[in-house]
Amino acid sequence: MRAEAVEAMMPYLSELYANPSGSHRFARRARQAVDEARDTVARVVGCHPNEVVFTGCGTESDNMAIVGAIARRGGVALCPAVEHHAVLHVVEHLDGRSSGGHASGRGSVVGVDAFGRVDLDELAAILGATPDVTIVSVMAVNNEVGTITDIAEVARVVRRHAPDALLHTDAVQSACWLDLRDITPHVDLLSLSAHKFGGPKGVGVLVERGGPKVDPLLVGGGQERERRSGTHNTAGIVAAAVALDLTDRERVDENVRLVALRDRLVDGLRDRLDGITETVPREYKVAGSAHVCITGIESEALLFLLDEAGVCASAASACASGAMEPSHVLAAMGVDRSMALGALRLTLGQTTMAADIERAVDVIGAAVDQLRRHHPTPAVADVSAPTTLDPIASAS
């Protein structure tokens, strides 16, 4: 968390702890803090304060958009195959592909191009052939590979082929890199999550433009103008607004700084190692994302060595029943399975400094050398069979 956000939330954990829905003086102070936070969020997002609904996380905002739209109007929900599971699993659930299915609606998943952007021709064809599409959900920035989707372009297709459908964007990964004011006018619903921009975990936002568009997910006390029941997380909401405001003010300069560091990181890895493939070209990505596929290693083993050396990274592949499964994002982009098993996802942010980049290149270079010496897979050995990884097995 940003220090300023931690500082801002502290009073609301102690002397200003009152419930903002109460009527006494302390409650009114808390209420005022929530209202001011709402004004700040609205200013940065580019909407009216009444259109801001505070939720418990990005997942809840995504679920509310889709489940709430289908609950209100029935019909079909569409999303691209590279969405975060907070969207994809909801749509697949409606489609009956995950447990149970959903009685009142259907879901359909749209293909993407090699960079992870929704296939607009396929989207248009599905919209044209499906008269009862209720909601289309397309993420603005992909969390795994960093690809930016032009939401204005998506909106043109949706408005043309399904004028009655709602357009939702999961903008959870966008606030640090893009001006949300450029995205909001094109959508009906937009999701954010505070911990992606230096705020606390457990605070989300759903923007509902033009008033209520979907049924609430949580009902009860009627908070958030009946849109989201549950006692407000005042401290978290205040801190989220402080973090979002700072992120917005610093965004342009941070983009310049971090794109240079990201380029140094990826160029450094390419200079240091053979067999580095950039998964998505840099011009299609946000500044904070470096995603490469490294031949001749398996990322879970690499992550183990990186963690030991103090470099925190991820691979975005799920390890189920001892078998490595490449990420659904890379699979949808058509990345070869053997490449995907060597995926490494490095992210940069507000705290990343030049020295971190030099160290990361050294540590990753040494770890990849070590793995290639000791485990000459998968480029050399058979890569078609699922592989159990010793370091992970022994670690868990």
Looking at residue 118, what DSSP letter applies? B
Binding span for ligand PLP by CB under 6 A among 43-51, 57-65, 276-284, 345-353:
57-65
Binding span for ligand PLP by CB under 6 A among 88-96, 165-173, 235-243, 291-299:
165-173
Among 66, 81, 139, 292, binds ligand PLP (CB under 6 A): 139
b/e per residue, 128-138, with b = 16+ CB within 10 A? eebeebbbbbb
The one-letter amino acid at 236? G
Among 173, 184, 289, 347, binds ligand PLP (CB under 6 A): 173
Footprint on residues 92-121 left by ligand PLP (CB under 6 A): none
Go through the chain and tell me how many residues it has: 396
Q: Is 58 a binder of ligand PLP (CB under 6 A)?
A: yes
**Nearest distance from C-beta of residue 168 to ligand PLP, angstroms:** 11
The residues pairing with 166 across neighbouring beta strands, listed in sequence order, are 135
Residue 295: what are its φ and ψ, rounded to 5°? -75, 150
CA separation for the pair 77, 97 (Å, rounded):
13
Q: How far is CA 325 from CA 185, 298, 382, in A?
A: 38, 11, 15
Out of 57, 176, 312, 319, pick the active-site residue: 319
Among 86, 258, 316, 348, binds ligand PLP (CB under 6 A): 86
**Nearest distance from C-beta of residue 141 to ligand PLP, angstroms:** 7
Binding pattern to ligand PLP, positions 292-331, x when CB under 6 A?
Answer: ----------------------------------------
Among 75, 80, 146, 204, binds ligand PLP (CB under 6 A): 204
CA separation for the pair 392, 34 (Å, rounded):
44
Q: How far is CA 67 from CA 328, 339, 380, in A?
A: 22, 35, 46
CA separation for the pair 358, 347 (Å, rounded):
14
Closest CA to 315 of 297, 333, 288, 336: 297
Q: How far is CA 165 from CA 10, 35, 133, 226, 229, in A?
A: 42, 30, 6, 23, 26
Among 52, 57, 65, 76, binds ligand PLP (CB under 6 A): 57
Q: Is 193 a binder of ligand PLP (CB under 6 A)?
A: yes
Binding span for ligand PLP by CB under 6 A among 104-112, 167-175, 361-369, 384-392:
167-175
Residues binding ligand PLP: number (CB under 6 A): 13
Binding span for ligand PLP by CB under 6 A among 54-62, 312-320, 330-338, 339-347:
54-62
**Nearest distance from C-beta of residue 173 to ligand PLP, angstroms:** 5
Q: Is 62 a binder of ligand PLP (CB under 6 A)?
A: yes
Nearer to ligand PLP, 139 or 242 (CB): 139
Binding span for ligand PLP by CB under 6 A among 36-44, 53-61, 228-236, 384-392:
53-61
Q: Ramachandran region of residue 48, left (φ > 0), alpha (ψ -120 to 50) or beta?
A: beta
CA separation for the pair 364, 306 (Å, rounded):
7
Q: Is 170 a binder of ligand PLP (CB under 6 A)?
A: yes
Binding span for ligand PLP by CB under 6 A among 7-15, 88-96, 169-177, 299-307:
169-177
Residues near 276 by beta carbon (within 8 Å), at least 6 away in sequence: 266, 269, 270, 292, 293, 294
Nearer to ligand PLP, 51 or 144 (CB): 144
Closest CA to 244 of 291, 193, 282: 193
**Nearest distance from C-beta of residue 24 to ligand PLP, angstroms:** 32
Q: Which residue has the tokens 């070869």?
A: 336
Residue number, nearest CB to ligand PLP: 58
CA separation for the pair 376, 384 (Å, rounded):
15
Any catalytic annotation for residue 293? no
Q: Is 84 a binder of ligand PLP (CB under 6 A)?
A: yes
The one-letter amino acid at 107? G
SS3 content of the chain, % helix, strand, coil (to 5): 45, 15, 40
CA separation for the pair 54, 239 (Å, rounded):
13
Q: Is 143 a binder of ligand PLP (CB under 6 A)?
A: yes
CB of 186 closer than 8 Å to CB of 159:
no
**Nearest distance from C-beta of residue 2 to ligand PLP, angstroms:** 16
Q: List residues near ligand PLP by CB under 6 A.
A: 57-59, 62, 84, 86, 139, 143, 170, 172-173, 193, 204
Tell me which residues are annotated as active site: 319
